[in-house]
């Protein structure tokens, strides 16, 4: 996400092998919600507190996001340091571009020093797989294969892999290459997946809670959706690592394990919609229309 120069533009009733739902005497595909409702506790994994950031805005709303530490470790280490040093406290949402991105951090004219970070991290745009790649069986316009690694949306050309700019994914804003962005400004996707950005910026996480508090903001009126001045920007009161909060104050999120039977059933349900409303089933699903389900952990 170029700071100023970027171009425009988030279960198993029908488990694998389980009996299908019968509706009016005929076998039908379970709905995505039915799959979610029937998923056992073992199908969900906890979001680790040291990968969870809680951002509180001036109006009291809170946004929670998970860091992708296995995929962009240097950038993620920078973000952890920036959060813990208080760099984002008093920063702002500086850009809201309709159907594209929300961007936050210090404005370009803010000279607050970012202490203790790697100012020139490597271009963590691609990576060797840090886990088993579970491919979707459907064609994709941007990559040879798409699927999930550890419940994250990933694309692959058979040699290397990269995280995908799906809705709610978080990346690091940067200027023109060779700048790779240090993490002082972040953005999240709020519209149709801008897949042309894949492998051009470091994708470092995803929003897991409070996305509505980013998408409902007034759109910026300046070029690329930037806010004109500080009077329009939405202040960030604080950002905290969940692991630094008292246990009673830590939100507990879970993501569905992409290696689980429930996840396979959920993807199948997304690809094969049934029920009274649907006249035709697509028989396929786009990677960004099959994000790993996320929930607050049941108490």
- Average the pLDDT over each of 14-23, 174-183, 221-230 and give the range with the smallest value: 14-23
| Run of H or E residues at 234 | strand 234-241
Does a structural domain hold residue 237?
Answer: yes
**Which segments within 131-215 are labelled E, that is strand?**
134-135, 145-149, 152-156, 161-163, 169-172, 185-189, 203-209
Q: Which two tokens stand for residue 83?
A: 């959060």
> Domain for residue 41, yes or no?
no
Show the DSSP H helices in 28-127 as ranges.
32-38, 73-84
Three-class secondary structure of residue 195 per DSSP: helix
Residue 276 CB partners (closer than 8 Å, separation 6+): none
Average pLDDT of every residue of the chain? 92
Q: Locate 292 and state its tokens.
A: 């790993």
Reply yes or no on whether the pLDDT at 8 is more than 50. Answer: no
pLDDT at 121 over 50: yes
Two structure tokens written together for 237: 């009161």
Q: Is residue 219 within 8 Å of residue 94, measured between CB atoms?
A: no
Check residue 133 and give its pLDDT.
Answer: 95
* Position 3 pLDDT exceeds 70: no
pLDDT of residue 13: 31
Q: In which band, very low, low, confident or very high, does the pLDDT at 129 lie, cut at 50, 70 and 90? A: confident
- Residue 28: pLDDT band (50, 70, 90) is confident
Number of domains in the chain: 1
Q: Is the pLDDT of residue 6 over 50?
A: no
How many CB atoms sit inside 10 A of residue 298's CB? 8
When pLDDT is averaged across residues 53-71 and rounded to a whole number, the result is: 98
pLDDT for 29: 86
Identify whether 178 is preceded by a cis peptide bond (ω within 30 of 0).
yes
Residue 134 lies in a domain: yes
Read off the pTM. Answer: 0.91
Q: Given a cut of 70, is residue 12 above it in pLDDT?
A: no
Q: Bigger pLDDT: 21 or 158?
A: 158
Question: Domain containing 160: what range?
Answer: 46-257
**Is the distance from CB of 95 to CB of 220 less than 8 angstroms?**
yes
- Residues 35 and 11 sit within 8 Å (Cβ to Cβ): yes
User: Does the residue 6 lie in any domain?
Assistant: no
Residue 26 falls inside a structural domain: no
Instruction: Indicate whether 296 pLDDT > 50.
Output: yes
Q: Provide the pLDDT for residue 23.
A: 36
Q: Does residue 123 register a pLDDT over 90?
A: yes
Q: Has residue 135 got a pLDDT over 90?
A: yes
pLDDT at residue 150 greater than cutoff 80: yes
- Answer whether residue 153 is part of any domain: yes
In this structure, is residue 116 part of a structural domain? yes
φ and ψ of 242, to 5 deg: -60, -35
Residue 7 has pLDDT above 60, yes or no: no
Q: In what order do the strands lie in the sheet with 161-163?
A: 134-135, 145-149, 152-156, 161-163
Start-to-end C-alpha separation, the chain: 38
State the Cα–Cα distance between residues 2 and 172, nearest whole angstrom: 9
Given the structure tokens 């108490």, which residue do they identify? 299
In the structure, what pLDDT confidence band is assigned to residue 25 with cuts at 50, 70 and 90? very low
| Three-class DSSP category at 50 | helix
Report the alpha-carbon distance of residue 168 to residue 126 in Å, rounded. 19
- Answer yes or no: is pLDDT of 2 > 60: no
What backbone torsions phi and psi does residue 108 show, to the nearest 5 degrees? -60, -30
Tell me the CATH number at 98: 2.40.100.10
Instruction: Give the Cα separation of 41 and 250 in Å (integer).
Output: 20
* Model pLDDT, residue 5: 38
- Specify the pLDDT at position 272: 96
Task: With respect to residue 36, please indicate whether it lies within any of the assigned structural domains.
Answer: no
Q: How many CA atoms lie within 13 A of 128 on its CB side?
A: 0
């Amino acid at each position: 996400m170029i700071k100023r120069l970027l171009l425009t533009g988030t279960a198993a009733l029908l488990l694998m092998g389980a009996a299908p739902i019968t509706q009016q005497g005929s076998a039908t595909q379970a709905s995505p919600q039915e799959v979610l409702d029937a998923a056992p506790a073992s199908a969900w994994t906890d979001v680790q507190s040291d990968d969870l950031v809680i951002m509180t805005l001036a109006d009291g709303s809170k946004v929670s996001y998970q860091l992708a530490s296995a995929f962009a470790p240097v950038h993620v280490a920078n973000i952890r340091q920036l959060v813990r040093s208080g760099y984002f406290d008093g920063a702002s949402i500086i850009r809201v571009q309709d159907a594209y991105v929300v961007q936050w951090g210090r404005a370009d004219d803010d000279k607050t020093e970012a202490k203790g970070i790697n100012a020139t991290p490597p271009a963590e745009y691609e990576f060797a797989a840090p886990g088993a790649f579970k491919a979707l069986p459907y064609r994709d316009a941007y990559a040879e294969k798409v699927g999930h690694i550890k419940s994250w949306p990933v694309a692959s050309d058979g040699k290397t892999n990269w995280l995908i700019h799906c809705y709610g994914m978080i990346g690091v804003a940067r200027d023109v290459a060779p700048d790779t962005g240090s993490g002082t400004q972040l953005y999240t996707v709020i519209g149709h997946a801008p897949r042309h950005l894949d492998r051009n910026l470091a994708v470092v996480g995803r929003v897991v809670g409070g996305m509505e508090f980013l998408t409902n903001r007034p759109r910026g009126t300046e070029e690329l959706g930037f806010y004109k001045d500080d009077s329009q920007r939405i202040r960030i009161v604080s950002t905290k690592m969940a692991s630094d909060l008292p246990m009673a104050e830590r939100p507990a999120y879970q993501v569905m394990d992409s290696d689980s039977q429930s996840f396979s059933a959920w993807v199948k349900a997304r690809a094969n919609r049934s029920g009274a409303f649907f006249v035709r089933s697509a028989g396929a699903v786009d990677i960004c229309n099959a994000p790993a389900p996320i929930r607050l952990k049941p108490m």
